[in-house]
């Protein structure tokens, strides 16, 4: 990326995060964003069509590394569990760090460009996982081939984002308390086999995770 383009983009990121943390994202104007970032409208439109689209890009850039495939996921079911729990934890930590922005991007659901971007990142990660380890798939999903994988991944990704939306509406974002609930609500075949002593798995404790 050209250094000047990158510097402008980082000014836009700082300005947009500042505004989106204190007001609904839909109310952030290009004019105000340009004024704070110290750029022209023409420069802004070289980066995005709208503040909403730009926010989806910025937050998507932060989430993308969390959803990237990790080599250890191919080792064993236990490693899949460990890696997936770490990824979900990192995703929730990201949401907590940007909670004011995410809440201002909801009315009552996440704005479409942002929700679409997050769902796509999770969906593509799950599709890649299923294609590497087709043995994890339930029979009906496996029998449907690639279409079955895509349907299952889309369903899981939408459910994950939906769960986070509900979580964001709460006043207390407690990862240690709620991680197990979010994991337990997801289709189990994606997650691998948890260690017997992992307290985050409701299948071990027999009840929702506190």
DSSP state of 105: T
Q: Where are the beta strands (DSSP E) in the chain?
A: none
Q: What pLDDT shows up at residue 169?
A: 94
What is the pLDDT confidence band of residue 96, given thresholds at 50, 70 and 90?
very high
> Residue 209 above 90 pLDDT?
no
What is the pLDDT confidence band of residue 74, given thresholds at 50, 70 and 90?
low
Q: Please indicate whether residue 132 or residue 117 has the higher confidence score (pLDDT).
A: 117
> Residue 23 above 80 pLDDT?
yes
- pLDDT tens digits for 129-142? 899 889 889 999 99
The phi-psi region of residue 127 (left if phi > 0; otherwise alpha if psi is between -120 and 50; otherwise beta) is: alpha
CA distance linking residue 59 with residue 95, whole number of Å: 10
Range with the largest mean pLDDT of 57-71, 159-173, 196-210 = 159-173
Q: What pLDDT shows up at residue 68?
A: 87
Q: What pLDDT shows up at residue 186?
A: 86
∠ CA(90), CA(94), CA(100), 5° rounding?
155
Q: Cβ neighbours of residue 56 under 8 Å, at least 6 residues apart?
A: 111, 113, 114, 116, 117
Which residue do the tokens 């197990």 mark? 180
Please list the residues that pair with 106 across neighbouring strands. 110
> Residue 164 above 50 pLDDT?
yes
Question: Under a CB-based contact definition with an 8 Å cutoff, are residues 152 and 187 in contact?
Answer: yes
Q: What pLDDT shows up at residue 54?
A: 97
Range with the largest mean pLDDT of 62-66, 193-197, 200-204 = 62-66
Instruction: Among 13-27, 66-80, 90-104, 175-189, name the one with the lowest average pLDDT.
Output: 66-80
CATH architecture of 3-47: Orthogonal Bundle (1.10)
């Amino acid at each position: 990326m050209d250094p000047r383009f990158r510097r402008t983009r980082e000014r836009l990121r700082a300005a947009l995060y500042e505004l989106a943390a204190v007001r609904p994202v839909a109310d952030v104007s290009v004019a105000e964003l340009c004024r704070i970032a110290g750029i022209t409208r023409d420069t802004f439109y070289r980066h995005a069509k709208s503040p909403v689209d730009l926010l989806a890009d910025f937050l998507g850039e932060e989430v993308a590394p969390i959803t990237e495939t990790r080599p250890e996921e191919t080792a064993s079911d236990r490693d899949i569990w460990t890696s997936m729990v770490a990824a979900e934890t990192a995703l929730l930590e990201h949401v907590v760090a940007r909670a004011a922005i995410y809440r201002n991007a909801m009315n009552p659901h996440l704005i479409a460009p942002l929700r679409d971007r997050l769902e796509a990142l999770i969906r593509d990660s799950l599709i890649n996982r299923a294609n590497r380890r087709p043995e994890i798939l339930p029979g009906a999903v496996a029998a449907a081939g690639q279409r079955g994988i895509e349907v299952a991944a889309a369903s899981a990704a939408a459910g994950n984002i939906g769960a986070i939306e509900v979580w964001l509406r709460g006043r207390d974002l407690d990862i240690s308390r709620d991680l197990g609930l979010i994991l337990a609500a997801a289709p189990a075949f994606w997650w691998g086999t948890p260690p017997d002593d992992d307290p985050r798995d409701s299948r071990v404790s027999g009840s929702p995770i506190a």
